[in-house]
Amino acid sequence: MQRGFTLIEILLIIAALAILIGSTVIAINPARQLGDARNGERRVDVGAVYSAVRQYAFDNHGAVPAEIPTGTLSNCTDAAPNAAYTICRTESCSGSIELTELLTNEKYLAAIPNDPSNSDANLSGYKIIRDTDHNDRVTVCAPLAENDELIYLPE
């Protein structure tokens, strides 16, 4: 006579597997992991724009592109959409910052990067200011950063 599994044994195995899978998903926290991955991309993008502005300033005796407005760090890191500090990605933006000088002949940037959570085709999702609280130091930030993280350069 062959011995098989009883219904109770099968249900216990399924329950144990469900508990293991549930605790694994909670421990891994995929939403947080994906947010951290997008934040990594934001750090790279902010670094690219910041480096391009610094290189431009070096090549132009300390002058930064005139389009960069003055403000404070809170203007930059505020997640509320504000075109006055947001970098434009196309030529059809109005009221936002066009950094075309950085794109000329791809000398400083090949293209303006796009925030991974940005839904506007014209705006980059990144902001830039000359921080009046820090002697007009140029600050680039990612206001759409996730997991309560602030991403900006210089720190």
**Quick one: pLDDT at residue 94?**
79
- What is the rounded distance in angstroms from the CA atom of residue 145 to the CA atom of residue 62? 30
Query: pLDDT of 90-147, one tens digit each?
Result: 877 878 898 988 998 889 999 999 999 998 888 899 999 998 888 889 999 999 999 9
Residue 80 has pLDDT above 80, yes or no: no
**Quick one: pLDDT at residue 1?**
63
- Beta bridge partners, 87, equal 97
For the ranges 22-26, 51-55, 96-100, 104-108, the maximum mean pLDDT occurs at: 51-55
- Average pLDDT over every residue of 51-79: 89
Of the pLDDT bands very low, low, confident and very high (cuts 50, 70, 90), residue 46 is: very high
Question: Nearest 10 degrees: CA dihedral of 101, 79, 135, 84?
Answer: 50
Our measurement of the distance from residue 91's CA atom to the centroid of its chain's CA atoms, rounded to an integer in Å, reads: 22
Residue 83 has pLDDT above 80, yes or no: no
Exposed/middle/buried for residue 43 (C-beta within 10 Å: 0-12, 13-18, 19+): middle
- Average pLDDT over every residue of 19-39: 88
Alpha-carbon distances of 105 from 49, 97, 111, rounded to whole Å: 16, 19, 10
- What is the rounded distance in angstroms from the CA atom of residue 130 to the CA atom of residue 139? 6
- What is the rounded distance in angstroms from the CA atom of residue 123 to the CA atom of residue 120? 6
